Structure 1
Amino acid sequence: MNKKPVRTIAFILFLCLMQINVYSQTKVGTWREHLPFSHAICVAEAENKIFCASEAGLFLYNKSDNSIETLTKIKGLSDNLISTINYSNNFNTLIVAYSNGNIDLVSDYSIYNISDIKRKDLSGSKKINSILFIDNYAYLGCDFGVVVLDVDKKEIKDTYFIGEGGASVKIFDMTYDGTYLYAATEIGIYQADINSSNLLNYQNWHRFTNLPIYDKSFNTITFFNNKIFANYSAEQTDSDTIYVYNGTSWNYFDTTITTTNALDNYYDNLIVVENWHVDVFNQANERIRHFSTPESKHAIIDKDDILWIADYQEGLIQNEESWHKLVICPNGPIDTKVFDMVCVNENLWVASGGRTGIGGNVYNTAKAYSFIEEKWTSFTEKTIPEIADIRDIVNVAISPNNTNKVFLGTWGYGIIEFNNNAFTKIYNEDNTDNALQNISNLTPHAYVRIAGMAFDNNNNLWITNSSVQNPIAVRKANGDWLNYNFQNQISNIVIGNIIITQNDDKWVVLPRGKGLFVFNTNNTIDNFSDDRYKKISLLNDKGKVIANEIYSIAEDLDGEIWVGTDMGVVVFYNPQNILSNNSYYATQPIIEVNGNAQYLLSTETVSAIAVDGANRKWFGTQNGGVFLVSEDGEKQILNFNVDNSPLPSNNITSISINQNTGEVFFGTSSGIVSYKSTATKGNKDYSGVYVYPNPVKPNYDGLITIKGLVADVNVKITDISGNLVYETNANGGEAVWNGRNFSGNKVHTGVYIVFCTNEDGSQSFITKLLFVN
C-alpha cells in the first residue's frame, strides 16, 4: 500500500507594502484556481461548518462567522474532479472522493492521501459514488464494487465484487439498517449481512427479486423510520419511482417523482432531492417542507433544522423557512468549459461554447465570463435575456482602444457586442449589409458561423465567417461593414481563427488539412484591387508537407509566426516575405530533451500558443499539458501536467497572458487555473519600476521581483559597498532574484542597490532593496 505523507494546507497571507495591484505582489511560481464552485454536487456538516463539494473543488462555510474558505488541488487536495464527500464525526474527518478513485482524508487542516484505488489495475471506471460510515469503517460505493476503508488506520481493508461470479457491478449508493448492508446498483438492489464471515464471497450478497423492476438501475438508497427507501432511476424519461422495503415486501412510496438525485435521513427526516426541488418528509410520511431549486443534487438538514442544498447552478443554498433562500458560493466562472480566452490590459474574457471536430454545432447555451479587477462576472441567458436563443460562443475580441467594448463570436448566431459589461446588440446578416453571411437561407440567423476575430492597429475588427461565399468580413472603426471573397480561394469551406501581424498581414487557419491563407489589404480596406493574398501549405525547405492539421497560431515579438499542428510546432521565420515571394518554407525547431534532439513537441497536438513578455512560447497540448520553451524554441523551461501541477486537465484549450502582471491563464477541458510567471511586458521607460517584497523580512525565502523594467535589460545587484552579489537579464519587463549571492548563500541584512541598463546603455535606472535577517 502506498501511503503518502500528510501535507499541510497552505493558507497564503498577502502583505501589501505599496499601493499596487494585489496579485502583482504574489510570488513568482504561485498558482490560482478560477473554478465554478457553483457546480455543487454534495454537501456535508461538520460541527459549525458546512462543506460543499463541486466537481472542481471544495469550499467550507463557517456558520459562526459566515466566512468562506476554498480547498482545491492548489491548496492541498490530491486531485481534481471530486465525485462525493462525507464527514465522520467519530474521527472529525472529511473524506473527499474522486472520479478516478483517489481519496483524501481531511482533518485538522491536514490532508492524508490514499491512492490505492486510483493506482489499482482495473479495467473500466474507478469512480467513487458514495461514502457510508459504520463504526471505524467507510464503505465506498464504486463503479466496480464496494471498497472498505479503515478510517482509523487510514488504509484499505477489503474490496467486494458482488456481481454474479464475482463480477464488477456499479454501486451508486449504500445504506445500513443495523444488521444488513444495502447497495443500490446498476442492476438492482443487493443485501448482505454485515456480520457475515466472508463478504468477499459474492454469494453472500443477495439481489432482491421481489421488486417490480428488480434488475434495473437504482441510483440512491437510505434507511429511514425502520424502512429502506430506494429510487428506481428511469432510463430515458423523467419518471423515477421510490420504493419502500418494510423487511418483507417492497411497496410504492411515490410514483410522481421526476428525477431523484438523492435520498437521505438526517435527524429523523427523509430528504428527497429531485432535479428542481427538495422535499422533506416526517416519520408519518407527511411532506413538511418543499423548496424549489434551479438544479439540486444533494441536501442535508443540520441540528438547527436548516436545510443545506448542493445545487449545480448556484452552489450552496441555505434554507431555514420555505420563503428563505441564501446562496453561498465563492466567486468564479459559471462553467468549466473554455473554448477561447483573450486578455487585454488586464481584462480577461472567456468564451465557453464549442464546436465539433468536423465543424458542427454542439449547442452549448450561450455563456461567457470576464475577469476584471479580481472579480469574475458571468453572462448567460439568465442575466441577458436577449441571448436566450443563442448557442456556442466560441471566440472573443477586445477593442484595444476601449477594453470595455467586447465582441463575442458564435458558431451559428453571429456576433454579440458588449459595452461596459452590458449587452449592446447582436450582429448577423440582417444588420451588417450582409457582410456577415448565413450558410442557409432557409434558417435566418442560425448559421452565421464566426470562426475567429481580431482587431488591427486602426481598430478595425476582422472576422472569419466560415463556409460562406465571402468568408472574410470587417467591421470598420466607424461601424461600417465590408466582406471579401478573394476570387473564391477560400469560399464555402470551413475556416478557422485569424491573427493580424505587426506589418498588418492577416493569417487565417484553414482546417481539414487545407493549410493557411495570408492576405493584406495595403491599408485600403475599401479598395479590393490592390489586395494581396496567398493560400499556403506547411512545407519544409525540401517542399515536403510537415503537417496537415493546424490547431493554433501566434505571432511572436520578432514577427515570426508559430503554428501548432497535430505533429508539433512549425515556424515561419520570414513571414513578411510570404506575399511578395513565391519561395517560402516553414521550419520545425529542434529541441534537446533528456539528451536527445527532436522536433519540438512532435508527438503532441498543439492546441494553444501564447507569447510572453520575454518572447518565450507557452504551448498548450491536447494530452500533454503545458510547455514553456525559450525564445527560439530550442530549450524546454517548464512542463506542467496534472501529475506535477494544479492543472485540472492535460487537455489545454486556450492560453492567455496578462502581460502587465505575468499571470498566465490556462483554459482546460476541466476549467481555468493561472500561474504567475517570471516575464511581463517591457516598458518604454523606468517610471513604473518597483521591487517586491521590499523590505525582505527574515522568514521570506521566495523570489524577489523587480518589475516595470524596460524590456530585456541587464540587472546587477550590489551591496552598499559596491560588491556584486547577483546579475541577470530581465524577462521582458521583469527580473527575479532568489536573495542569494553567487556562492548560494542568503545575503546579509542591509541595503542592496539594483542597477538596470539596456543593451546600448542609453537607458539606465537605480533602485534600492532592504534585507532584514
Structure 2
Amino acid sequence: MFKRILLVILLVCPLITMAQDYTESWEGHFSYINIIDVTASETKIYAASENAVFSYDIQSQEISTLSTIQGLSGELISTVHYSDNFKALVIGYENGLIEIFLEDDTNVLHVVDIVDKPTIPPTNKRINHINEYEGVLYISTNYGISVYNLSRLEFGDTYFIGDSGVQTIITQTTVSNGYIWASGLNATGIKRAELSNTDLIDYNQWTKISLGNYTSVQAVSDNVYATNTNREIFRIENNSNLNRLKQFPSDVLDVKSANNELVITTANLVYLYDDAFRIIAQVGANDSFNTSYTSAISTIDHFYIGSNSLGVLQSPIGNASVFEDIYPNGPLLNIPFSVQAGNNNAWVTYGDYTVSYNPAPVKRYGISHLKSDVWNNIPTDSVLGATNLNAISVNPNKISQVYISSFNEGILEVESDVAVKLFNETNSGLETVDVPGSKSVRASASTFDNNGLLWSLSSLVLSPLKSYDLQSNQWKSYSFEGLYSDPINDELGFSDIAIDNAGIAWMGAYFNGLIGYDYKSGTSQIKSLNEESQNMPDKTVTALALDNRNQLWIGTPRGLRVLYNTSSFFTDPNVEVSEIIVLDNGIASELLSQEYITSIEVDGSNNKWIGTIGSGIFYFSSDGQETIYHFTKDNSPLPSNNITDISIDNSNGKVFIGTESGLLAFNSGSSGTKDNYSDAYVYPNPVRPTFNITDDLVKIKGLTDNVNIKITDIEGNLVAEAQANVNSRYGGANLEIDGGTAFWNGKNLANNVVRSGVYLIMLSDTDTFETKVLKLMIIR
C-alpha cells in the first residue's frame, strides 16, 4: 500500500525526485571510517560517514554500502534516522536536503523543500535531528522545527519557536506525556507544547521550561532528559522543573533513546542508563583502538559506537574490554588530492598545498593503495614523518615500488606498501627551500620517463628539476637560472611534469606558465610561455598531458591550450599555443573557455579526460571537437563538481576520478594498446542467445596501436572492418576501436545482426605486419 501511495505522490509532487542508480558503469571508492551518526532497525545498524552510508546486518554480518553510486547526493550528512514503520532510512544533510532510502525497493528519494526555501538563509538549513512519532517526522534544524508526513511524503507546518518567533537553532525534539519537547541553542533552552494543539506555528503556544543552551532532549518511558553545553544532564520533573543529575567529564556529543534506555556518547566514553537514570553499562577508550567516539546506539546485546577513524566499534554490553571494528573496505579519507592508477592498482594521497603552493596547515595523512579490489591503508605513523604527501609515481619496471612527493620533507619511497626511505637534502640531490634556517623540501610534480628515470620538481630552489637513476642511485640537478634568478620571488611552485621522447621536460608553473627544458641538447635550453601575446590565457599552468601524437595539452585556471608542434618550441621565435575552436549550435566558440582545469589524461584512443573546478569532468575526442561525455553532479554519481585529479588504468579501462568529496571510478571499457597480439582474445565466446550483442557488444582485447581488423564468416565473406585512428569509438560504426579494445555490435555491412555461425576475426598491424586470427562462435 505504501508503494502505491508513493507512486501517486511522486507524480504530483515536484519537490520529490527519484535518484538514479549508477552501479552498472561506476564504482564508488568512499571512506567509511569517520562516522557522523548511527541508527538501527530491528536487524541492521546504519552508519553515516561524511557523504555515504553503510549498513551492517546483525545476524549475517553482511555489510552493504549506499553512496552516490546508488543515488545519494554526495552532500555532507549531518544525521540519520531509521523508520521501522516505513522500512525507510531518512538522511539529513548540512544543506537542508533530506533523502529517504526505501529499503524494500532500494530507491532513494530526494526531498528538496528546505534546500529550495528562499526565506531561510543557507546557513540555517542544517538538519540536526530527526524524531519520529506516529508516522510524522519532527525535523530539528538551524531555523526551527519542520513537520514531515512519511505516509504522504509531504511537509506540514514549520515551527519558528525562538523568542518572538524568530529562527533559532533546535538541536532535538522528543514526544512524551502528551507534549512535544524541543532543545535549542542561542539561549532557546528547553521548550514544550501540547502535541494536540493545532496552532503550534504560533510561538506563543510554546512554553519555555529553562533558559540556556541545550544540546539534546530525549524521552525514555515517561521520563524526559536534557543535556546542555555545560556537559550537564537534567531530568524534567512534573513537566516543568529541571533536576540536575550529573556533569560529564567531557562534552556530550550524542544522546539517543533506544529500547527504553538512554545512550549518551562523549569523545571517549559511552554510557547506558535505564529509564530511571541508573547506570547499566559504560564503554571507555580501548588502547588497541586509537580513536574518538562520535555517536552510539545500543541493541539488546551490544553497543554500536561511531568513531572518527575506525568506523563502527561493536562492543558487548557488560564486556567493555571487547571491541570489533566494522566498516566497508575503502580508502582513508574522502578528500583525494592525487591519484595514480595502472596494472589493476590505484594509489591515493591526501596531502595537498594551497593554490599558491603554501603547505600550511600541515596535512598529516597516510596513503591508500587499491590492489585486487581491496584497499590497504598506510597510516600516518607509517610514512616516516612525511607530510603533505601529493604526487605519485609508480616505477614502470617494478610496480610494487612507488615514489610519493612530500611538500615538506622530500620524496617518500614505498616498497610493497611499506615506506622504506625518505629522500631529502641529506641523502639525495633534493634541496631545502632557499630560505636561511629552513629545512623544508617542497617536492611536488613527478613522473618516470621511458628509460626508468624518476623526474621531480621542487619549489623555491634555483634548480627545481631533478632526475634520479634508480639503478645507479645518481641524482642530477637542472638549473633554471636562464629563466629566473630569484627562486623565492620568481616562482612559487610546479603543478605537473611530462617527459617526451625527444628529451624535453615539460612543466607547469605558477608564474612562468608552460616551461620547456631541453636536457638532451647539450646546451640545456630552457624557455617558457606565459604571456597573452603567446596566446596563454593565464600565467599559471595547472595541468599537462602529452598525447599519442606528441601534442602537449595545457590546462590553466582560465581555459585550455594545445602546443601542436612541440619539436619547434626552441627554434621558433614566435611560438605560441592554440585554443580549440568548436561549433556550438553553429556558432564558433573556444573549448573550455574560462574553465579552471585541474587535470588532463589521455586514454588509449588518444581521447582526453579533463577535470575542472566547478564543471565536473569532460571526455573529448582526440582533437577536442566532440564531447563524448560531460559528467557532473546532476547526471552522474560525482559527489562534487570540483575535480582534484584523474588517472586511467589502461589495463582495465577504469578512469579514477578524485573529487573534493570522494573517489570514484568510471568503467570506460577501453584499454591500453599492446606491442603484439600474443595476448589478443575475444569475449564473450561463444556468444549465446541470452547475450544482447547489439547493446552489450563483443569485445576484442589486446590490440596494437596500428591494428586493422577484418571480421568474415567461415566462407570468407567480409562482415565488418575497422582500422585504428579511423574507426574510433563513439563514431557510430558497427565495429569501433578504442585503444587496445575493439567493440562489435554483431551487425554486418548491411547493418543486420549476423546469423549463428563461426566468424573469423583477422588482426593485422599496418606497421609491423604482424597478424593473428581469432575464432568467434555466435549462437542465436
CA distance in 2, matches of 1:596, 1:514: 33
Contact persistence 2:271–2:279 (CA under 8 A): no
1:468 pairs, out of 432, 437, 461, with 461
Of 729, 736, 740, which residue of structure 1 is paired with 2:736? 729
Which residue matches 2:14?
2
Cα 1:194–1:684 change in 2 (3 A) is same
Partner of 2:335: 337
Query: What is the aligned partner in structure 2 of residue 350 from structure 1?
Result: 348
**Counterpart-to-counterpart distance in 1, 2:235 and 2:482:** 68
Tell me, in whole angstroms, the C-alpha distance in 2 between the residues paired with 1:79 and 1:155: 23
**1:112–1:66 Cα change, 3 Å:** closer
Counterparts in 2 of 1:77-476, with a 5 A limit? 77=72, 79-100=74-95, 101-117=97-113, 118-121=115-118, 122-125=120-123, 126-187=125-186, 188-189=188-189, 190-208=191-209, 210-211=210-211, 214=212, 216=213, 218-224=214-220, 226-233=222-229, 240-246=231-237, 247-282=239-274, 283-286=276-279, 288-292=281-285, 294-303=291-300, 305-320=301-316, 321-360=319-358, 361-382=360-381, 384=382, 386-387=384-385, 390-432=386-428, 435-444=430-439, 447-476=440-469
Matched, 1:68 2:67: no
CA gap of 1:631–1:242, structure 2 versus 1, over 3 A, is same
Describe the shift of the 1:753–1:155 C-alpha distance in structure 2 as closer, same or farther (beyond 3 A). Answer: farther
Q: Deviation at 1:510? A: 1.6
Q: Quick one: which amino acid aligns to residue 75 of structure 1? A: Q
Cα displacement (A) at 1:696: 3.8
Judged with a 3 Å threshold, the aligned counterparts in structure 2 of structure 1 residues 8 and 465 are, in CA distance, closer, same or farther, namely closer
Q: How does 1:631-650 map to 2 (within 5 A)?
A: 631-650=622-641
Report deviation, 1:636.
0.8
Contact 1:712 1:730 in 2 (8 A): no
Aligned counterpart in structure 2 of residue 599 of structure 1, from 590, 593, 600: 590
Q: Conserved in 2, the CA contact under 8 Å of 1:396 and 1:453? A: yes
Contact kept in structure 1, 2:610 and 2:619, CA below 8 Å: yes
Indicate if the aligned counterparts of 1:450 and 1:465 stay in contact, CA closer than 8 A.
Answer: yes
Which residue of structure 1 aligns with residue 514 of structure 2? 516
User: Are the counterparts in 2 of residues 83 and 98 from structure 1 also a CA contact under 8 Å?
Assistant: yes
Alignment of 1:502-513 (within 5 A): 502-511=501-510, 513=511
Contact 2:736 2:744 (C-alpha < 8 Å) held by counterparts: no
Bigger mean CA offset, 85-94 vs 154-163: 154-163
Q: State the identity %.
A: 27
1:732 CA drift (Å) = 1.0
Which of 644, 650, 662 is equivalent to 1:659? Answer: 650
Q: Distance in 2 between matches of 1:284 and 1:232?
A: 17
SS of residue paired to 2:567 = helix
**Per the alignment, in what secondary structure is the counterpart of residue 60 of structure 2?**
coil
2:475 is aligned to: 481
Query: Distance in 1 between the 2:250 and 2:280 partners?
Result: 16
Distance 2:656 2:36 in 1: 26
Separation of aligned partners in 2, 1:243 and 1:358: 51
AA at the equivalent of 2:483: Q
SS of corresponding position for 1:628: strand
Q: Judging changes above 3 Å, is the alpha-carbon distance between structure 1 residues 439 and 36 closer, same or farther for their aligned structure 2 residues? A: farther
State which drifts further: 345-354 or 698-707.
698-707
Mapped partners of 1:177, 1:500: distance in 2:
70
Structure 1 residue runs without a partner (length 5+): 13-28, 234-238, 524-528
Paired AA for residue 591 in structure 2:
L
| In structure 1, distance between residues paired with 2:573 and 2:204 | 76
Aligned-partner Cα distance in 2 for 1:602–1:592: 13
Q: Shift in Å at residue 412 of structure 1?
A: 1.4
| Greater alpha carbon shift after TM alignment, 554-563 vs 356-365 | 356-365
- Structure 2 CA distance for partners of 1:552 and 1:315, relative to 1, 3 Å: same
C-alpha displacement of 1:226: 3.8
Counterpart Cα distance in 1 of 2:590 and 2:398: 41
Q: Is the 8 A contact 2:37 2:294 kept in 1?
A: yes
Output the CA distance in 1 between the equivalents of 2:736 and 2:768. Answer: 14
Aligned equivalents of 1:45 and 1:614: distance in 2?
48
CA distance in 1, matches of 2:760, 2:531: 50
Q: Check 1:596–1:181 CA distance in 2 against 1; reply closer, same or farther (3 A cut).
A: farther
- Maintained 8 Å contact 1:33/1:674: yes
Conservation of the 8 A alpha-carbon contact between 1:591 and 1:597: yes
Q: Which one of 702, 705, 716 corresponds to residue 711 of structure 1?
A: 705
**Offset from partner CA, 1:422-448 (integer Å, 9 cap, x none):** 111212222226x3223444343xx21
User: Can you list the C-alpha shifts for 1:294-338, whole angstroms capped at 9, x where unaligned?
Assistant: 1222211113x2111122211122111211111111111010111
One-letter identity of the residue aligned with 2:256: D
Partner of 1:22: none
Q: What per-residue deviation string (whole Å, max 9, x for no partner) do you get for residues 558-598 of structure 1?
A: 11111111222100001122123323110001123344321
Provide the C-alpha distance between the structure 1 equivalents of 2:685 and 2:37, rounded to a whole number of angstroms.
Answer: 44
Contact 2:462–2:481 (CA under 8 A) maintained in structure 1: no
Query: What do residues 137-174 of structure 1 show as CA deviations (whole Å, max 9, x unaligned)?
Result: 11222333322221112222333333345443333322
* TM superposition shift of 1:56: 3.0
CA distance 1:152–1:626, change in 2 (3 Å) = same
Q: Counterparts of 1:558-577 in structure 2 under 5 Å?
A: 558-577=549-568
CA distance in 1, matches of 2:277, 2:435: 60
User: Residues 114, 545 of structure 1: CA spacing in aligned structure 2 closer, same or farther, 3 A cutoff?
Assistant: closer
Q: Distance in 2 between matches of 1:257 and 1:595?
A: 69
Pick the aligned partner of 1:46 from 35, 41, 46: 41
1:70-117 Cα offsets, whole Å, 9 max, x none, are 222213445544332211122222223333413223221331414232
Q: Compared with structure 1, are the counterparts of its residues 424 and 569 closer, same or farther at alpha carbon in structure 2 (3 Å cutoff)? A: same
CA distance in 2, matches of 1:689, 1:718: 17
What is the one-letter code of the residue matched to 1:457? N
Please list the CA deviations of residues 338-383 of structure 1 after superposition, one character each: whole Å capped at 9, or x if unmatched: 111122433321111121222222322132111122211111224x
Tell me the TM-score normalised to structure 1 length.
0.88
Offset at residue 544 of structure 1 (A): 4.8
SS in 1 for 2:481: helix
Give secondary structure in 2 for the equivalent of 1:576: helix
State the TM-score, normalized to the length of structure 2: 0.87
State how many pairs are aligned.
731
Judged with a 3 Å threshold, the aligned counterparts in structure 2 of structure 1 residues 760 and 422 are, in CA distance, closer, same or farther, namely closer
Structure 2 equivalent of residue 762 of structure 1: 769
Q: Identify the residue that residue 23 of structure 1 maps to in structure 2.
A: none
Asked if 1:677 corresponds to 2:650, the answer is no
- Determine helix, strand or coil for the equivalent of 1:586: coil
The 1:766/1:596 distance shift into structure 2, 3 A limit, reads farther
